[in-house]
A and B are shown apart, each in its own frame.
Chain A
Amino acid sequence: MAAQTLFDKIWDAHVVADLGSGMALLAIDRHIMHDLGGGRGLKQLRESGRKVRNPEMVFATPDHAVSSEPGRTSETTELSSGYMKLLREETTHHGIQLFDLGQPGQGIVHVIGPEMGISLPGSTVVCGDSHTCTHGALGAMAWGIGSSELLHVLATQTLPQTKPKRMRVTFTGRLPEGVQSKDIMLYLIGHLGAAAGAGAAVEFAGPTIRNLSMEARLSLCNLSIEMGARFGMIAPDDTTLEYLAGREFAPKGALWDQAVASWRALPSDEGSVFDREESVDISAIAPQITWGTSPQDVVGVDGAIPDPAAADGASRRFEMETALRYMGLEPLKPIAGTPIDRVFIGSCTNSRIEDLRQAAAIARGRRVDARVTAWVVPGSYNVMKAAEAEGLDTVFRSAGFEWREPGCAQCAAANGEVVAPGERIVSTSNRNFVGRQGPGARTHLASPALAAAAAIAGSITDPRRLA
């Protein structure tokens, strides 16, 4: 048999029917729903007289619309009250497992899927959210879908899909001190562009990846969609198995052994052919920070804001000028030292226990600058409890950070927690789009360490100075 890639193996194992011209009807193993789309989708399905085909393959949790205010309930805001009522009613009606507020398992869909052992290597995972690519870090084929596709999966447990092109990015070099997986992925997106992965499933490989923890891999795959790729994947290895062993929904006993045997066969075969191959050496990069309104607009924190005059072509110049005007930044000035108003440490990119440890290491024994409002929003109930058991909440609180309740919070501000017009925020989230965190909000994406350092300094700062 011809050499197969990780992606091909999972694709082939899930083809229910060939639909011709490169399309297939694919079986879906796991469907995770959130409050923005889940309740509404289930209600629509019920009203159309259809049933959920396999309720035991569907999981739900509130994350987007819930308040992150300490002590919050579903009634804290009118917005979340409506979404929660619908989600509770509909998951009960359809017999779907709901991880409700204040319960283990509640949290950001892309944090809880891996953490609960719901998403597994070799499985297909969908969710009505573009950052579903996160789960690919476990060696799953995971992708974001729209609300019509969500209904399709509920009703049929399948989805017609076009087979994407194969792309592999090989990272080489040792991660420099103070540089995290968020940095190497932002660097890659800056290098290849925000549309580089369009129409492709990207496998991340190479020695750098092998040495990353599971949490760091999840952050990396999370940003695949920011390079245009619906799928980002990492082949499962010992790190993956150690991470999954014993998780609540992961297989146990004899089933675990069978699963491991099948997962060991997943990595791309020697001699696999990819439609596109890229290689990037990260051994000399600095912590990264975005300056513009696309994740591709990124520089090292020790670098300068780029000059549109030097742009490659008129379209890119126009894009850069528009971005700099929105961001209120001047070309050629150092990015470090730019004063900020807010810091947000959280989101499906960087809200896992390791992220919080990295931020806490910077915050410990220091004070948030008086001009800055700084939030830490753990990604899930379990992350929150683990952090509190380690005393990280105390570290953050004594440094002047707000320790908040798990959810998406300020990343998309879909719960109303907006950044004010003109305010500048260093955010560990994934999108610095115009208006993403609120109309007129100016977002700089960075790692948890850089965000914590910026909160302390009151300006964009190299975290290596505070390490």
Chain B
Amino acid sequence: MEPFTTLEAAAMPIDQPNLDTDQIIPARFLGKPRSMQIEALFKDLRAKPDFVMNQPGFAGAKIIVAERNFACGSSRENAVTVMMDNGFQAFIAPSFGDIFFNNCFQNGALPIRLAPARAAEIRAALHAKPGSPVKIDLVSQTVTGPDGKTDRFDIDSFRKDCLLKGVDEINLTLSYDAEITRFEAKQQQEMSWL
């Protein structure tokens, strides 16, 4: 996995609250190979000319600044990978679907929760001047908007460390093999009905 440290890039605003993963990638594309899913991103939304991704000013954006409950719904990890394959590496919103939030870390993408008012402020600035950059620094846990204002965000130290180093979580867990084996023996005793 590629490490994530800092990212300064154009950001794309999405104003629709509760934008679910079915809209990010409809179920009918889930069976296709990843290389063929790229075109499926926001498939039905993109059919509308006024959708933000159809506006030339946001081409090349690497960050999405969304509304509350972004990427709620289905657990499909394709929602993360299809956005990454389209160049997006970080997502900022007041809140996220919990499963999507977890899936981001598995792919080296960074989801950031910011206060609703601040997220709205950044989206407004991006609409006013498409192509404006947003700067993310994972080490200092800060986001700087197009207005130059900087906010701090929270992240679990474990998740942060994994992202900064680009760690494969399975390998990390396998280093706990002795603990897992010990747990299994204990559970066999205490919860033998399982």
Which chain B residues numbered 116 to 147 have a C-beta less than 8 Å away from chain A? Answer: 120
Residues of B within 8 A of A148 (CB): 77, 103, 106-107, 169
Q: Given known contacts A17-B176, A318-B15, is B26 in contact with A439 (CB within 8 Å)?
A: yes
Would A439 and B44 count as touching, CB distance under 8 A? yes
Would A155 and B95 count as touching, CB distance under 8 A? no
Of all chain B residues, the one with the shortest Cβ separation from A83 is B31
Interface segment out of the listed A22-30, A301-309, A349-357? A22-30
Q: Given known contacts A155-B174, A315-B17, A416-B28, is B75 in contact with A130 (CB within 8 Å)?
A: yes
Would B170 and A151 count as touching, CB distance under 8 A? yes
Interface segment out of the listed A171-179, A254-262, A266-274, A329-337? A254-262
Q: Given known contacts A36-B30, A414-B30, is B44 in contact with A433 (CB within 8 Å)?
A: no
Residues of B within 8 A of A199 (CB): 95, 98
Pick from A22, A228, A433: contact of B98, CB below 8 A. Answer: A228
Would A156 and B180 count as touching, CB distance under 8 A? yes
Q: Chain A's nearest CB lies how many Å from the CB of B159?
A: 8
Which chain A residues numbered 17 to 46 have a C-beta less than 8 Å away from chain B? Answer: 17, 19-23, 25, 27, 29, 36
Q: Given known contacts A147-B77, A431-B73, is B193 in contact with A251 (CB within 8 Å)?
A: yes
Interface segment out of the listed A93-101, A157-165, A276-284, A338-346? A157-165
Residue B102 lies at the interface, judged by CB distance under 8 Å to chain A: yes
Pick from A21, A29, A82, A146: contact of B102, CB below 8 A. Answer: A146
Would B17 and A152 count as touching, CB distance under 8 A? no
Residues of B within 8 A of A83 (CB): 31
Would A22 and B156 count as touching, CB distance under 8 A? yes
Q: Chain A's nearest CB lies how many Å from the CB of B55?
A: 17
Residue A145 lies at the interface, judged by CB distance under 8 Å to chain B: yes
Residue A3 lies at the interface, judged by CB distance under 8 Å to chain B: no
Would B16 and A319 count as touching, CB distance under 8 A? yes
Pick from A21, A29, A294: contact of B156, CB below 8 A. Answer: A21
Would B191 and A122 count as touching, CB distance under 8 A? yes
Complex CA distance for A409 and B129, rounded to whole angstroms: 45
Interface-centre pick from B17, B45, B176 (highest chain A CB count, 10 A): B17
Residues of A within 8 A of B159 (CB): 23, 162
Of all chain A residues, the one with the shortest Cβ separation from B194 is A29
Residue A230 lies at the interface, judged by CB distance under 8 Å to chain B: yes
Of all chain B residues, the one with the shortest Cβ separation from A193 is B69
Residue B36 lies at the interface, judged by CB distance under 8 Å to chain A: no
Residue A370 lies at the interface, judged by CB distance under 8 Å to chain B: no
Residues of B within 8 A of A155 (CB): 170, 173-174
Of all chain A residues, the one with the shortest Cβ separation from B106 is A148
Of all chain B residues, the one with the shortest Cβ separation from A82 is B31
Q: Given known contacts A144-B99, A194-B18, is B158 in contact with A23 (CB within 8 Å)?
A: yes
Residue A192 lies at the interface, judged by CB distance under 8 Å to chain B: no
Would B18 and A65 count as touching, CB distance under 8 A? no
Of all chain A residues, the one with the shortest Cβ separation from B70 is A195
Would A123 and B194 count as touching, CB distance under 8 A? yes
Q: Given known contacts A25-B179, A130-B75, A146-B77, is B174 in contact with A156 (CB within 8 Å)?
A: yes
Complex CA distance for A291 and B76, rounded to whole angstroms: 25
Would A436 and B157 count as touching, CB distance under 8 A? no
Complex CA distance for A157 and B170, rounded to whole angstroms: 11
Which chain B residues numbered 30 to 53 have a C-beta less than 8 Å away from chain A? Answer: 30-31, 44-45
Would B75 and A435 count as touching, CB distance under 8 A? no
Of all chain A residues, the one with the shortest Cβ separation from B47 is A439
Pick from A156, A418, A440: contact of B173, CB below 8 A. Answer: A156
Residue A212 lies at the interface, judged by CB distance under 8 Å to chain B: no
Q: Chain B's nearest CB lies how many Å from the CB of A366?
A: 33
Q: Chain A's nearest CB lies how many Å from the CB of B104?
A: 9
Q: Given known contacts A315-B15, A319-B16, A319-B18, is B31 in contact with A65 (CB within 8 Å)?
A: yes
Q: How large is the interface on A (under 10, 10 to 19, 20 to 34, 35 or more residues)?
A: 35 or more
Residues of B within 8 A of A146 (CB): 75-77, 80, 99, 102-103, 106
Would B75 and A16 count as touching, CB distance under 8 A? no
Residue B97 lies at the interface, judged by CB distance under 8 Å to chain A: yes
Residues of B within 8 A of A129 (CB): 74-75
Residue A386 lies at the interface, judged by CB distance under 8 Å to chain B: no
Complex CA distance for A228 and B95, rounded to whole angstroms: 10
Of all chain B residues, the one with the shortest Cβ separation from A319 is B17
Pick from A50, A319, A435: contact of B22, CB below 8 A. Answer: A435
Pick from B15, B27, B44, B69: contact of A195, CB below 8 A. Answer: B69
Would B193 and A256 count as touching, CB distance under 8 A? yes
Residues of B within 8 A of A413 (CB): 27-28
Residue B23 lies at the interface, judged by CB distance under 8 Å to chain A: yes
Would A17 and B179 count as touching, CB distance under 8 A? yes
Which chain B residues numbered 63 to 89 have a C-beta less than 8 Å away from chain A? Answer: 67-69, 72-77, 80
Interface-centre pick from B27, B67, B158 (highest chain A CB count, 10 A): B27
Residues of A within 8 A of B99 (CB): 130, 144-146, 225, 230
Would B169 and A160 count as touching, CB distance under 8 A? yes
Residue A241 lies at the interface, judged by CB distance under 8 Å to chain B: no
Would A262 and B75 count as touching, CB distance under 8 A? no
Residues of A within 8 A of B158 (CB): 19-21, 23, 160
Q: Chain B's nearest CB lies how many Å from the CB of A369?
A: 28
Q: Chain A's nearest CB lies how many Å from the CB of B140?
A: 17
Residues of A within 8 A of B153 (CB): none
Pick from A225, A258, A418, A440: contact of B192, CB below 8 A. Answer: A258
Complex CA distance for A318 and B187, rounded to whole angstroms: 52
Residues of B within 8 A of A144 (CB): 75, 99
| Interface residues, chain B, with chain A CB atoms under 8 Å away | 15-18, 20, 22-23, 26-28, 30-31, 44-45, 67-69, 72-77, 80, 95-99, 102-103, 106-107, 120, 156-159, 169-170, 172-174, 176, 179-180, 183-184, 187, 191-194
8 contacts between A and B (CB under 8 A): A21-B156, A82-B31, A156-B173, A160-B173, A195-B18, A294-B18, A315-B17, A434-B23
Further contacts, 8 of them, CB under 8 A, given A225-B73, A431-B22, A434-B20: A158-B173, A195-B95, A199-B95, A256-B193, A294-B18, A414-B27, A433-B23, A434-B23
